[in-house]
Structure 1
Amino acid sequence: MQPPAGLPHTRTRPVHWLLTALALAAVLVGAVLLGPGDATAGDGPAAPFAVAPDPAAARYPLACGPVGTEVGDTAVADLDGDERPETVAVIHCRAGAGTPPDGVYVLTAGAGTGSPPRVAATLVDPARRMNVSRLRVSEGTVSATLLGYSARSVPRCCPDLRRPVEWRWRDGKFEPVTRPVTGRA
């Protein structure tokens, strides 16, 4: 015995598709006509939305040779109160193996349209041979945990010191607020 060819109410006909298309068009027209109007002065910030600097497009003061740089962690916030976002980026030289030291840089928009972001501040210089974890930005303060080494004999894979640090924007520059070494990493 063969199953029935289909119940009459389950077969679609061209009229069904036409009605569906008309209903969808009516919803779209209604959304356009009844949607929110143009923004007024009281609806939000007066300045157009600024895009945060792209850390992959910036040039860093690192001598990495042909291997280039690699972006680790990033955070975006308006750190200096100018209503334009800055990007804080953890950067290091690419490495096939090992743990290269990190640098922490604050990026701002480039000088003109299409120009790459520029490094406005260096918070951690890679020459200090530190690694960075737990990067955060909150209320104009950049915080991170620096992982370091008690001696040159400590392998680069295994930092043995940990220090929480903060930088706050004051008087046109970032001021470090270091805390004591909290112990072994």
Structure 2
Amino acid sequence: MEPWPDVDAVVENIGKLPSELFAETCHEILLHLQGQRHVIDVVEQQNRLQNAGLNLDWKAVQGIIRLLLFNFRSAAKSKLNADVLVTKLGEGSSKWSKSTLQVVHQLWSEHGSRVQAHQEEKAMCVTGHLVDIQWKLGMAVSSDTCRSFNSPYVSILLKMADDSGEISYKSFEMTVPQFQNFFRQFKEMASVLETV
């Protein structure tokens, strides 16, 4: 995991967002924390902000999402009401604008109790999950695992969500026999799961 970003810098980036976009971002995060969304896709959020004319890079958007997730999760764990949450945010950074804190207050008043309830349930069972798997067949030009050129290989891309809902991507390559074994194991898992 990357180091925690500078809170004041992240709050300054939040201040660049129009109130409606900030409210939408908070709402997506709160829906995730209530279990109504499985993931928060940073790339999707970045595209939405860029479409609105804001030029924030991936790390800046990730910082905003992480800071909001952290604060909403902490507020749920500590069972804070909206007034106390806004006070704590103001104590953590003097860069919060009044309108931004009003959005947080309103959304936490509406969603806070549901987030608290879901986070208590989730604390009993925390796991990540596979969101998507993509594969493609290619021809090796050079590789550590293929002995000769022009050997077929399979490239795998896994889209995974950790327990916080953050999306990550893992990619790797396999020879065709390795992929066939991988596929066979998946079929065995599927047949076992059907009996459960």
What TM-score, normalized to structure 1?
Answer: 0.23
Q: RCO (CA 8 Å, sep 6+): is it higher in 1 or 2? A: 2
Rg bigger for which structure?
1
Q: Whose strand fraction is larger, Structure 1's or Structure 2's?
A: 1
Query: TM-score scaled by structure 2?
Result: 0.22
